[in-house]
Amino acid sequence: MSDIYPSSADDPDGSRLAWVEESSKTSGGFRVFSVRESVCRSPEGILKTFSVIDTRDWAMVVPVIETKRGKAFVMVRQWRHGARELSVEFPGGVLESGEQNVEGAARELREETGFVAGSVTKLGEMSPNPAIMSNRIHFYLAENLTQTGKRELDEDEFVEALTVPAAEVLQNMGRPPYIHALTAAALLFYLKHCP
């Protein structure tokens, strides 16, 4: 790894850049997350307060299916309130309390699309936004899919399941309606695993 700024030879991993949390307190709780005020000491000893969003980990699954036109992804289309527009993305969501990552991925696939997977493989994990969020997202590949014809959507979920050619997703990622950054990350993990 090359450095833009020279690093100290006695600190090759950059730990000298770490802040130390001195205290924290929850300042607000909401349906799917809470906000915590984290008082941290800088590497130079200065105290600053940062807002951190605490929420459970998420899982997102890349469901692959073979069609007459070739390889395709099972995706979902839904309204995203933050962006105020429709988004086509891979199925995913918040892990339930005590739920294993792989179980959550399989559950989200079944609930949102009606598909169950014969095999589920971990692709990787990341921090969705490490600047302000404390959670992780876990990415999975789902193969050998079977359609059950039964979905289990929450009362506020209005979701349409789609089968989209893989080439279309690759070509249009980053343009509406493929606007979800975590779907782009999942696609990158998929391409790394299945070049």
Catalytic residues: 155
pLDDT tens readout for residues 30-84? 888 999 999 999 999 999 999 999 999 999 999 999 999 899 999 999 999 999 9
Residue 3: the pLDDT is 53
Which pLDDT value is given to residue 5? 54
**pLDDT in the model for residue 11:** 78
- The two beta strands, 115-126 and 85-89, are unpaired
Residue 122's CB is within 10 A of a number of other CB atoms, namely 15
**Domain spans of the chain, in order of start:** 15-54, 58-193
Class of domain 58-193: alpha beta
Residue 93 CA to residue 107 CA, distance in Å, equals 9
Residue range 4-23: average pLDDT?
80
